[in-house]
Structure 1
Amino acid sequence: MSDVQNEKQAQPTLTEERHASWLELFFDLIVVAGTAQLAHVLHGEPSLADFGLFTVMYVAFWTIWMCFTVYGNVAGDRARTWTMLIGMLGMAVLAASVAGVHEGEHLQVFAVTYVVLRTVANRAWRGRREVLMDWPVAQFTAGVTPWIVSIWVDGQARYWLWAAGLAIDLWATLSMSARRFQENLDARRDLAKQRAGRRSRRDDGRFDFHVTHLDPAHLGERLGLFTIIVLGESVAQLVAVGSGAGWDHTLRALALAGFLLLVSIWQLSLVHGYGGVPNLREAAVEPRLVLLLHCVTNGALTALAAGLGASMEHRHGELPDNIRWVLSASFATYVVIATVAAMASRHLAAAPVRWGGLVVHLLPPLALALAIGFFGAALPVVAVAWLLVAAAVWGLLGYVEWLRPRGAQPA
């Protein structure tokens, strides 16, 4: 196998709908391992520190996946096979290193691998003469610096450095403007032309860049595939617990509740959403905001998967407060994303926000999820699961009654 561009595959025409390539689908298999390992961080009775560690490691894993995903989106059939496979191998190392985090093992390996993968993803853009402003993190590596420092740091300071690096990436995502970048680039070009007499031939193409953008249809498919894999991890959690236990009435009720909850989320995120983000329509928000919403949505779903698995393990006793809060907080986060996406989608359609419909259809699921966290200590595990199902179904009915365009048929 070589690092030669895949020239034999024809580029899609303007009338063809581009789909994920076999290379991209193979690359996405690493998400299966990653989400499973990350969910284990929240097993047992996770503390607030565990939840913070899960958040940082999940965002790091997702960021690496996204850096290679946007490269494949822009490069298309010319994406270098070895670049993608190196990314896949590195992400496998990231996933494997999650296992010993509670004991303080493999943390240095996690940091080193993250730095290497960010470097590989950045170098993939060299020679393309393109700047991707839809996801500047792919080429903006200032956020990697705290990760490099963390390699030689022990204790809690290492986690804070990781969080600082991710915060820099978030700042870059939200603050960098394609228009300002283009204006600055044009100004530098003009200045370079004025100084042409004093410039060497080596500098001629120094500012020969152009701003490129993501393919929204292809991006939506890749993001949706990520969400499908995360939902698959939820199914795997239910099956794993159920296969090793006696099939009593409690287990059957919990398994059915978990299945119906996942069906409702699948409907909201993939049938009625875009890129795995519930209630979102394509082009409702900028691509960089779609990616941020996707990150938060799937982080919440990964935590929800861990909570579902843990709740089945405690089905005959009291549900620990920490696990109840994992279920409550993760589902509440999902509902907040669904509400924000619904309002953005109505704005795109130039439809007024009907506040009455918002209060009736979209806010009750949030209130119920938070009530489970604050007041659900005395509830049996089965009741918690079925209350979450009720909240999800109510949110799904809210789409049908409040969000779906008039005249459209339900899916």
Structure 2
Amino acid sequence: MTSSSDPRPRSAGPSRTRRPLRPLTARGRDEAHRVATPLELFFDLCFVVAVAQAGVELVHAVAEGHPGHGIPNYAMLFFAIWWAWMNFAWFASAYDNDDLLYRVVTLVQIAGVLVLAAGVSRAFEDHDFFVVWLGYLIMRLAMAAQWLRAARSAEGPERRTAQRYAGGVLLCQVGWLGLVLLPEPARPWVFLVMAIAELCVPLYAEKDHATTWHPHHIAERYGLFTIIVLGETIAAATIAVKSGVDEHDALSELLPIAAGGLLIVFSAWWIYFVVPIHGHLRSNWQSFPWGYGHYLILASAAAIGAGLEVAVEQAVGKTHLSTLAASAAVTLPTVLYLITVWALHSRHFKVGFAQQLVLPTAALLVICCTFLGEWAVLAAGLVSALAVATGVTLTARRAAREREERATASAA
């Protein structure tokens, strides 16, 4: 394990003037100015291709009146995408040495997620998970290779942790074969069992030794991926609105959806980034629930974009969904996003009963907006924006009171 005496530079990452291959040793958790690398940003961007494919299929399923089929498939596929991304993010935070082999293996993982993305439509439409499983196999073999390489450079508890990660990843990949080989009625149970098994791997691997992930770096990585997913949501909604205007000349029907959708996405960004979460990530027991909970944050953020597409299709008559169902496709993921961000993220920095109530109250009001017909999305957007404004106002007032109290105390 590295420490503060590690000779490597403490800026944006490992030195670029080094040998092509180096030992894959742990980085120090105390590194200053640790930021995401260009390779990590490229990795995130390629993963969003798979997120976009899952969103497209969710739109089709919901717009055709099959949410009971589309939502579980979306949850399963998004878990696969998110979990592979998360495995890499935490590993890179602890071990990224940016040498030649590390880069090549990471690019192999990117190839795997693109294969997975290519199989998303077959998984949704034909319940054929082979291509998805194959893409996952490529990613997980590469991830296991990274862990085995880290184990080779480590010793003692750190080596056992790396070996446990490698073994857990490979065993779980074998378990995922159930989605390919077992009959369709058994597959939801296979997913449930294997998802729990995957979540348990880090808990088991790090029970004796915690990897040296970097709090600032992890917070930034999650934040960047959240931004990319929100950007994909805006892109999906924009394409849907453009299609509706071009094909149906329905600008008046689409303007409330477009405006409400933008307000929701802008508010989602503001709510997520209003607090510096890295200060809360001080140990595995604090960071694991936060990191795992981002499955709901990211999945709901992407689903908001799918919901906006459904609302547009309903407004221009391209689907037989009711207005209530189309509105719920937007409001329900918005509610899930607000509640999850509050529970995992914002509530740690809210002071006082009023501040703690802002996001839960906004979530309740957004649910009520579902029943407002063609104005539902715009109303949900206005409620989200009002939540942001209320939070900012309460924070400013509290800061002003604290300044007055300090001034009074100093004067006394």
**Superposition TM-score tier, normalisation by shorter sequence:** 0.7 to 0.9
Measured at CA, do residues 292 and 226 of structure 1 come closer, stay the same or move farther in structure 2, by a change above 3 Å? same
Counting only pairs closer than 5 Å after superposition, residues 371-386 of structure 1 correspond to structure 2 as: 371-373=368-370, 376=371, 379-381=372-374, 383-386=375-378
1:77 aligned partner: 97
Q: Which amino acid aligns with 2:313?
A: E
Q: Is residue 229–residue 298 contact of structure 2 (8 Å, CA) maintained in 1?
A: yes
Considering only aligned residues, what root-mean-square deviation do their CA atoms show, in Å?
3.3
Corresponding residue to 2:380 among 365, 380, 388: 388
Distance 1:41 1:137 in 2: 32
Deviation at 1:262, TM superposition (A): 1.2
**Counterpart selection for 2:190 from 146, 156, 161:** 161
Residue 223 of structure 1 corresponds to 222
8 Å CA contact 1:19–1:218 kept in 2: the answer is yes
Q: Distance in 1 between matches of 2:369 and 2:160?
A: 42
Letter in 2 for 1:399: G
- Aligned counterpart in structure 2 of residue 355 of structure 1, from 353, 356, 360: 353
Q: Does residue 254 of the first structure (1) align with residue 251 of the second (2)?
A: no
Q: State how far apart, in whole Å, the 2-side matches of 1:92 and 1:119 are.
A: 15
Does the 8 A contact of 2:241 with 2:254 survive in 1? yes
Deviations 1:271-310 (A, max 9, x none): 44648xxxx9555972212211222101111111100111
Residue 25 (structure 1) shift? 1.6
Which residue is equivalent to 1:125?
A: 147
CA contact (8 A) 1:112 1:151 kept: no
Q: Does 1:151 pair with 2:144?
A: no
Structure 2 residue 116 is the aligned partner of structure 1 residue 88? no
One-letter code of the match for 2:112? Answer: G
> Counterparts of 1:270 and 1:21 in 2: how far apart (Å)?
20
Give the Cα separation in 1 of the matches to 2:352 and 2:167: 41
- Asked if residue 36 in structure 1 is aligned to residue 57 in structure 2, the reply is no
TM-superposed deviation, 1:319: 4.1
Instruction: Give the CA deviation at 1:19.
Output: 1.6
Determine if contact 1:369/1:388 at 8 Å carries over to the other structure: yes
The residue number in structure 2 matching 1:190 is none
Give, in angstroms, the shift of residue 172 of structure 1: 4.2
Query: Which residue does the alignment assign to 1:140?
Result: 168
Q: Is the 8 A contact 1:301 1:334 kept in 2?
A: yes
For residues 358-409 of structure 1, the C-alpha deviation after alignment (integer angstroms, 9 at most, x for no partner) is 33x2322121233345xx2xx333x111121122123213432456773599
Q: How far did 1:118 drift?
A: 2.0
Counterpart code for 2:133: A
Change (3 A) 1:322 1:98: farther
**Structure 2 counterpart of 1:234:** 233
Find 1:115's aligned residue among 114, 137, 146: 137
Q: TM-score, normalised by structure 2?
A: 0.76
Percent sequence identity is: 21
State the Cα distance separating 1:146 from its structure 2 match: 2.6
The structure-2 alpha-carbon separation of the partners of 1:385 and 1:139, relative to structure 1 and needing over 3 Å to count, comes to farther
Distance 2:314 2:22 in 1: 51
Question: Which protein has the bigger helix share?
Answer: 2
Residues 1:108 and 1:269: Cα distance change in structure 2 (over 3 Å): same
In structure 1, how many angstroms separate the alpha carbons of the residues matched to 2:193 and 2:132? 16
Deviation at 1:125, TM superposition (A): 1.0
Q: CA deviation at 1:73?
A: 1.6
Q: CA deviation at 1:356?
A: 4.4
Aligned partner of 1:309 in structure 2 is: 309
What's the offset of the Cα at 1:5?
Answer: 3.6
**Is residue 2:19 matched to residue 1:26?**
no
Structure 2 counterparts to residues 7-18 of structure 1, below 5 A: 16-18=32-34
- Stretches of structure 2 lacking an aligned partner (at least 5 in a row): 1-18, 404-412
Q: Report which stretch shifted further, 23-32 or 141-150.
A: 141-150
Kept in 2: contact 1:145–1:165 (CA 8 A)? no
The amino acid that maps onto 2:168 is F
Q: Which consecutive unaligned segments of at least 5 residues does structure 1 have?
A: 183-209
Structure 2 counterpart SS, 1:82: helix
Whole-Å separation in 1 of the counterparts to 2:192 and 2:292: 16
Q: 1:286 & 1:322 partners in 2: Cα distance?
A: 37
1:338 aligns with 2:341: yes
Partner of 1:290: 290
Matched, 1:367 2:395: no
Q: Is 1:267 matched with 2:296? A: no
Deviation at 1:119, TM superposition (A): 2.8
Q: Which one of the candidate residues 386, 393, 399 is aligned to 1:406?
A: 399
Distance 1:325 1:315 in 2: 14
Contact (CA 8 Å) 2:359, 2:387: kept in 1 or not?
yes
Cα distance, 1:338–1:273 mapped onto 2, change above 3 Å: farther
CA distance in 2, matches of 1:145, 1:232: 34
Conserved? CA contact 2:237–2:258, under 8 Å: yes
TM-score where L is the length of structure 1: 0.76
How far is the alpha carbon of 1:27 from its aligned partner? 1.4
Q: 1:22 to 1:362 in 2, by over 3 A?
A: closer
Question: Residue in 2 aligned with 1:202?
Answer: none
Aligned to 2:72: 52
What is the distance in 1 between the residues matched to 2:391 and 2:292?
Answer: 22
Q: CA deviation at 1:165?
A: 0.5
CA distance in 2, matches of 1:227, 1:153: 34
CA distance in 1, matches of 2:382, 2:265: 12
SS of residue paired to 2:308: helix
Alignment partner of 2:176: what SS?
helix
Of residues 306-315 and 122-131 in structure 1, the stretch that sits farther from structure 2 once superposed is 122-131
Query: Which whole-Å CA distance do the structure 2 matches of 1:176 and 1:140 have between them?
Result: 9
The CA deviation at 1:247 is 5.7
